[in-house]
Amino acid sequence: MMEWKGKRVCVTGGAGFLGRHVVDALRARGVAEDQLFIPRRADYDLTLEKQVIRLFDDAQPDVVIHLAAEVGGIGANRDHPGRFFFANASMGLHLIEHARQRGIKKFVQAGTVCAYPKFAAVPFREDALWDGYPEETNAPYGVAKKSLFVMLDGYRREYGMKSGVVLMVNLYGPHDNFDPHTSHVIPALIRKCVEARRSGADHIECWGTGSASREFLFVEDAAEGIVRVAERMDDPVPINLGTGGEITIKKLVETVARLSRFKGEIRWDASKPDGQPRRCLDTSRAAELLGWRAQVGFEEGLARTIAWYEQQEHVREVVYGDANTLRA
């Protein structure tokens, strides 16, 4: 296992939803504050090569954990397919190449369940990653992410660069993005149900038919898995991080409504897309290679997330602007 003592660690996206939990996990392992470098979007636009060079000049990292991404739910993916491909591909391309040039000790790349083929056999196994094209709504984002897996594999074979990669299901938990348009389904539903309860609304509206199924992972469990990949993996073998269980969107909405104490009607807009029919990961490789399994039960994680949301005066909202910039 890689030792953290004396290592300088750069966590892109380290101030974001997943990143802050990864940083907490690194601190718990003894990584000192002066050894952590957390670039902010306002200071470094990682889609630009010259700013990636400046980042490496400033950070001088031994380890890079690349979590920064431009991503969202079905609506955001439908509205920004070009931006999502460009931003995610360009960030990874520049970071990996300049990490190679600088001889960093380890590069960890965060991937996504959106990379899997639309009709992959459930549960998704890592070996099926290239067995078909992803669900069309998420394809630009998913393809951009898994192309970086190929790059890391090539760099390992040609240059000996050590790396690790993970494929994660939708995450949820405190500090998530709660913008109603750009967020993923759980924070969007929590906000919708809590606001409806507070305003006395008699119903909420949800996209699709509710028949699609999804798998969700509590963010603290994901952070632990990512840090273990950094510690234990030298080769970019894709590793799924998930719970191994799925829930229909209909059941999810009903559960969030119950835990949010919203008692009104749930109305479905079948004119809106459901997205990929099913998503559920086989997590046996993570158990075998990392000794990792999800620890937080789904209802416990939802209850903790709802409680956190209800205590906030302001929550994180990610908005895509007219000039292809991101405000958070």
Q: pLDDT for 267-313, tens place per residue?
A: 999 998 787 788 889 999 999 999 999 999 999 999 999 999 999 87
pLDDT(325) > 60: no
Lowest-pLDDT range, 177-181, 206-210, 234-238, 281-285? 177-181
pLDDT at 279: 83
User: To the nearest 10°, the Cα dihedral for 49, 72, 168, 64?
Assistant: 20
Do residues 94 and 11 make contact, with C-beta atoms less than 8 angstroms apart?
no
pLDDT at 59: 98
- As a whole-number percent, the residues of the chain with pLDDT over 70 amount to 97
pLDDT at 150: 98
pLDDT at 74: 75
Q: What is the DSSP letter of 46?
A: T
Both structure tokens of 84: 């999502």
Q: pLDDT for 72-99, tens place per residue?
A: 777 788 889 999 999 999 999 999 999 9
pLDDT(326) > 70: no
CB atoms within 10 A of CB 213: 20
C-alpha to C-alpha distance for 18 and 244, rounded to whole angstroms: 20
Q: What is the mean pLDDT of residues 184-194?
A: 93
Q: pLDDT for 90-142, tens place per residue?
A: 999 999 999 999 999 999 999 999 999 998 999 999 999 999 999 998 899 99
Which of the four pLDDT bands, split at 50, 70 and 90, describes residue 323? very low
In the chain, the domains with their CATH numbers are 9-172+217-243+277-295 (3.40.50.720)
Q: Which residue has the tokens 């209850």?
A: 303
The Cα-based distances of 223 to 50, 276, 325 in angstroms read: 29, 25, 27
User: Residue 221's closest CA among 131, 296, 317, 303?
Assistant: 296
User: Residue 277's closest CA among 248, 306, 313?
Assistant: 248
pLDDT(324) > 70: no
Do residues 44 and 51 make contact, with C-beta atoms less than 8 angstroms apart?
yes
- As a whole-number percent, the residues of the chain with pLDDT over 90 amount to 81
pTM: 0.90
239 vs 70, more confident:
239
pLDDT(327) > 60: no
Letter string b/e over residues 225-237, b meaning 16 or more CB atoms within 10 A of that residue's CB: bbbbbbbebeebb
Q: Which residues pair with 37 in a beta bridge?
A: 10
Do residues 85 and 148 make contact, with C-beta atoms less than 8 angstroms apart?
no
Is 44 in the active site?
no
Q: Which residue has the tokens 């908005």?
A: 319
43 CB contacts (<8 Å, ≥6 apart)? none
Three-state SS at 266? strand
Q: pLDDT for 27-45, tens place per residue?
A: 999 999 999 999 999 999 9
Both structure tokens of 175: 């500090």
Candidate list 44, 133, 141, 172, residue with the active-site label: 141
Both structure tokens of 258: 């119950």
Three-state SS at 247? strand
Q: What are phi and psi of 78, to 5 degrees?
A: -70, -35
User: To the nearest 10°, the Cα dihedral for 304, 307, 311, 313?
Assistant: 90
In one-letter notation, the amino acid at residue 146 is K
